[in-house]
């Protein structure tokens, strides 16, 4: 995801870092809320994505196993393996050889929902640091063309480094504000993994305070809608767009999808994957959403052992 505005973000009258006040806002929309709160008091699963351009899941498992590192296939099949939580993936030889990429399990869902094919033309509008971009390339078998865009120079350095390490050759990198991406070309498939408040990554420490909290300005939903507006203009008729965040806030999720439905001739599609999820919300703060928004996915850590996510798939008429 691209870099977000570095402005303080507060919800209601919560005290800074107070986990009970922060998540209480979502008690009525997160199923089995007490189990959710218990789960985020512990580290989440440690996942890696196999680089199928260079190896296979079985070969990588054998390499890791030869050094005493156990791994297991996940719900997403051979693309993702889970390894012990005390292993730091970035220091392993296989990482530097480009045989895998450290990536949360749930962050693989947006790419699989977009379902790119070999030789496709795909725009990744907020691409850095490149986890989903490289996943796109692997699914496309390093063919076709991916335009990977981000506005942040330092994050683009990470993007390019990851693409090089993983042997990705079907991607060009651009640096433009997503809201101002040139309209000269339309794309049949667009991944819009927007900057967000990242609540899905929050954990609660032993002292009861929220860890990994991002402080973001109240203008963030407006930025997300601007990115959605541009992406819809860039999407070809009949094209597919997948919108995703790693947050629970409906203002950044369902409300942005409702904006797209109100402004453009688009439909929300069913996500045809087998993975634990809840449906998109019917309403939030008294505002009713279009019924089709129930086809969106809300993904929670107590159901998946991974980061919370929101995913929506849309087609342009």
The mean pLDDT of 200-211, rounded to a whole number, is: 88
Residue ranges per domain, the chain? 19-44+106-316, 45-103
Q: Give the residue numbers annotated as catalytic, written as ranges.
A: 246
Are the beta carbons of 289 and 283 closer than 8 angstroms? yes
Residue 18 or 169, more confident: 169
Q: Do domains 19-44+106-316 and 45-103 have the same CATH topology?
A: no
Question: How many whole angstroms separate alpha carbon 172 and alpha carbon 180?
Answer: 18
Look at residue 219 in the predicted model and tell me its pLDDT. Answer: 87
Parallel, antiparallel or unpaired: strands 297-299 and 278-279? antiparallel
Question: How many whole angstroms separate alpha carbon 105 and alpha carbon 47?
Answer: 6
Assess whether the previous peptide bond of 129 is cis (omega < 30° from 0).
Answer: yes
Question: Can you tell me which residue has the tokens 């009970």?
Answer: 20
The pTM assigned to this predicted structure is: 0.92
Q: Does domain 19-44+106-316 have CATH number 3.40.50.2300?
A: no
Question: How many whole angstroms separate alpha carbon 277 and alpha carbon 221?
Answer: 23
Domain boundaries 45-103, corresponding CATH code? 3.30.70.1170
Lowest mean pLDDT among 77-81, 88-92, 260-264, 301-305: 77-81
The mean pLDDT of 121-130, rounded to a whole number, is: 97
Collapsed DSSP state (helix, strand, coil) of residue 204: strand
- Report the half-sphere exposure of 163 (CA within 13 A, side-chain side): 24
Question: Is pLDDT of 11 > 60?
Answer: no
Cα-Cα-Cα-Cα dihedral sign, residues 295, 296, 298, 299: positive
What is the tens place of the pLDDT at every residue in 64-87? 999 999 999 999 988 899 999 999
């Amino acid at each position: 995801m691209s870099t977000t505005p570095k402005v303080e973000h507060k919800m209601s009258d919560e005290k800074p870092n107070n986990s009970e006040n922060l998540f209480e806002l979502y008690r009525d929309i997160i199923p089995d809320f007490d189990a959710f709160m218990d789960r985020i008091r512990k580290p989440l699963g440690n996942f890696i994505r196999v680089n199928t351009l260079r190896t296979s899941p079985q070969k990588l498992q054998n390499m890791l196993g030869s050094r005493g590192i156990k791994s297991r296939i996940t719900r997403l099949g051979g693309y993702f393996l889970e390894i012990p939580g005390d292993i730091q993936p970035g220091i392993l030889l296989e990482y530097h050889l480009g045989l895998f990429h450290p990536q949360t399990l749930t962050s693989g869902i947006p790419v699989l929902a977009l379902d790119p094919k070999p030789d496709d033309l795909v725009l990744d509008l907020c691409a850095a640091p490149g986890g989903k971009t490289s996943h796109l390339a692997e699914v496309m078998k390093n063919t076709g063309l991916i335009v990977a865009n981000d506005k942040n120079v330092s994050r683009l350095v990470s993007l390019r480094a990851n693409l090089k390490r993983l042997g990705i050759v079907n991607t060009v990198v651009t640096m433009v504000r997503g809201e101002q991406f040139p309209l000269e070309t339309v794309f049949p498939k667009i991944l819009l993994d927007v900057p967000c408040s990242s609540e899905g990554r929050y954990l609660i420490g032993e002292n009861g305070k929220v860890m990994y909290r991002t402080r973001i300005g109240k203008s963030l939903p407006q930025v997300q809608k601007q990115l959605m507006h541009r992406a819809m203009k860039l999407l070809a008729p009949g094209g597919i767009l997948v919108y995703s965040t790693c947050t629970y806030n409906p203002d950044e999720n369902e409300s942005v999808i409702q904006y797209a439905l109100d402004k453009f001739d688009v439909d929300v599609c069913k996500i045809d994957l087998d993975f634990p999820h809840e449906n998109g919300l019917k309403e939030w703060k008294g505002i009713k959403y279009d019924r089709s928004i129930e086809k969106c996915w809300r993904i929670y850590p107590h159901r998946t052992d991974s980061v919370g996510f929101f995913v929506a798939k849309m087609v342009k008429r």
